[in-house]
């Protein structure tokens, strides 16, 4: 028998018996008939390896039980059980820290697979069997996640915030709800949308992208919904729209904030009913496509100015992910430069060029207003010119134009016996310390809550606090100031 212990919580005795029977040969299994009983068991300790928790229970329901479990043990792994109609509750459960979700009714192999996946993998790795992990500076203790999505697109996470986003994607991708992706132009919203599609159960079906800002309203409507012959001048035949082409798969509505109000109203009906008419058509077409939306506008401002319907926003944003700009995750720049250089050199049929310290220094100082798109084009230009001195001079001139807002790299660019490796480690440590301080402040220095928000164990957080010398005023010494970390 395996050492892992499982606590099953459900108000239906038949479900408890069934679930226990499936798992008893492989795990130590306990049961609880309600949320209150489960909390009593957790308070007694020791904490179970996994809690299998029903979403819908009388009295204290699954969400409330989950929240209180996480308050006691922030690192507790919880597998939720829900009916197919509980999508919004599933999203709430993920936000509260559930590790995975299993839809009822389920067969024994599904339950065993979900339990095994949660116990043997971290949340970020649960459904990433083809994950490619790279570490160009082996031995510095860092780990970078790289997912190649196609020949030109890849997802890279080296900073704490991007690793947290990767963990969120790994969870929400399995729940068939809408996701709204926010962030500046070029931060990688389409990349994240493709990653969600790849990790989801719809991965074998089409992924369709529609740029809502690229077409006038009339053409966008026909592009989305299609048209029948004779619907307008030049419509000589029937054409299916993007929604129909995405049936069974995923459709990304990029720059949704640029869509006209009239078309937003029609889109809202599609989201509610899953049905639409082609232009000039009389047949009601049903479609099953997951809708992702992305925008770089200020959503609340757009709603206030009535450029974005509030009801449409709430329909699209069952789960929202905000991608930070590159200037707020500078520790990823060395990794991105390396990956862009490798992939673009292969595309152009050239050998990768070195990235000298002077070049890296200027890249770290630059604000990259175009984010990843600008960085990729920068590497292309370097490959074409084949002269790092020209590239460095160009970046240095841009940095001089914007001096006063550039980051103070301080001692990070002092003589470095280990070269690039030491720089990357320093950047990583500074960014990590800054993120920990922010999480502690937001949690009012409640370390268990801060650990839960950072998606790390309580013990790991204590180690990091000691490692970086982070102290609160409650402990008699000043907290680490934001100015102490770049």
**Predicted pLDDT at 52:** 95
CB 344 within 8 A of CB 376: yes
Could you give the CA distance from residue 324 to residue 188 in angstroms, rounded to a whole number?
10
**Predicted pLDDT at 321:** 93
**Predicted pLDDT at 104:** 84
Radius of gyration from C-alpha coordinates of the chain = 25
Other C-beta atoms closer than 10 Å to the C-beta of 144 total 24
Using CA atoms in the order 133, 136, 138, 143, what is the torsion angle rounded to 10 degrees?
-40
Residue ranges of domains in the chain, CATH in brackets: 5-120 (3.40.50.2300), 147-322 (3.40.50.300), 329-407 (1.10.8.60), 422-484 (1.10.10)
Residues of the chain with pLDDT below 70 are 1-3, 84-86, 120-143, 151, 402-430, 469, 471-486
Q: Which of 341, 339, 374, 373 is nearest to 188 (CA)?
A: 373
**Predicted pLDDT at 127:** 36
**Predicted pLDDT at 428:** 63
Which parts of 173-259 fold into alpha helices (H)?
Answer: 189-199, 217-225, 242-245
Could you give the CA distance from residue 382 to residue 391 in angstroms, rounded to a whole number?
6
**Predicted pLDDT at 303:** 93
């Amino acid at each position: 028998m395996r050492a892992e212990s499982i606590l099953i919580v459900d108000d239906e005795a038949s479900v408890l018996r069934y679930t226990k029977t499936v798992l008893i040969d492989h795990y130590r299994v306990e049961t609880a008939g309600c949320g209150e009983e489960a909390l009593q068991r957790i308070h007694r300790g020791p904490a179970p390896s996994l809690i299998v928790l029903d979403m819908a229970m009388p009295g204290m329901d699954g969400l409330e039980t989950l929240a209180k479990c996480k308050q006691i043990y922030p690192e507790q792994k919880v597998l939720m059980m829900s009916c197919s109609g509980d999508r919004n509750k599933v999203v709430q459960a993920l936000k509260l820290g559930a590790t995975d979700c299993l839809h009822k009714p389920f067969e024994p192999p599904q339950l065993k697979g979900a339990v095994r996946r949660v116990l043997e993998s971290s949340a970020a790795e649960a459904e990433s069997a083809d994950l490619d992990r790279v570490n160009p500076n082996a031995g510095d203790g860092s780990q970078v996640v790289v997912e190649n999505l196609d020949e030109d697109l890849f997802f890279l996470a080296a900073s704490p915030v991007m690793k947290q986003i990767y963990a969120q994607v790994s969870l929400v991708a399995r729940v068939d709800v809408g996701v709204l992706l926010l962030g500046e132009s070029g931060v990688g919203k389409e990349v994240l949308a493709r990653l969600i599609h790849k990790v989801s159960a719809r991965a074998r079906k089409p992924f369709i992208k529609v740029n809502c800002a690229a077409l006038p309203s009339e053409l966008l409507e026909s592009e989305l919904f299609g048209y029948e012959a004779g619907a307008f001048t030049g419509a000589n035949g029937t054409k299916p729209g993007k929604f129909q082409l995405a049936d069974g798969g995923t459709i990304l509505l990029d720059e949704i904030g640029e869509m006209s109000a009239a078309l937003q109203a029609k889109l809202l009906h599609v989201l509610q009913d899953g049905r639409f008419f082609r232009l000039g058509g009389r047949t009601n077409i049903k479609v099953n496509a997951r809708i992702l939306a992305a925008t770089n506008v200020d959503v609340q401002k757009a709603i206030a100015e009535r450029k974005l319907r509030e009801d449409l926003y709430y329909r699209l944003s069952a789960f929202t992910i905000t991608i930070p700009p590159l200037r707020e995750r500078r520790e990823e720049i060395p990794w991105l430069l390396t990956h862009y250089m490798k992939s673009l050199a292969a595309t152009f049929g050239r050998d990768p060029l070195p990235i000298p310290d002077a070049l890296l220094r200027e890249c770290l100082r630059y604000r990259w207003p175009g984010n990843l798109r600008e960085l990729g084009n920068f590497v292309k230009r370097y490959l074409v010119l084949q002269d790092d001195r020209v590239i460095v001079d160009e970046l240095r001139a841009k940095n001089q134009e914007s001096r006063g807002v550039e980051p103070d790299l301080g001692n990070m660019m002092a003589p470095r016996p280990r070269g690039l490796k030491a720089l990357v480690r320093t950047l990583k440590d500074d960014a990590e310390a800054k993120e920990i301080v922010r999480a502690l402040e937001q949690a009012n220095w409640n370390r268990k809550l801060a650990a839960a928000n950072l998606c790390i164990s309580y013990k790991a957080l204590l180690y990091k606090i000691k490692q970086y010398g982070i102290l609160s005023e409650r402990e008699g010494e000043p907290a680490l100031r934001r100015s102490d970390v770049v």
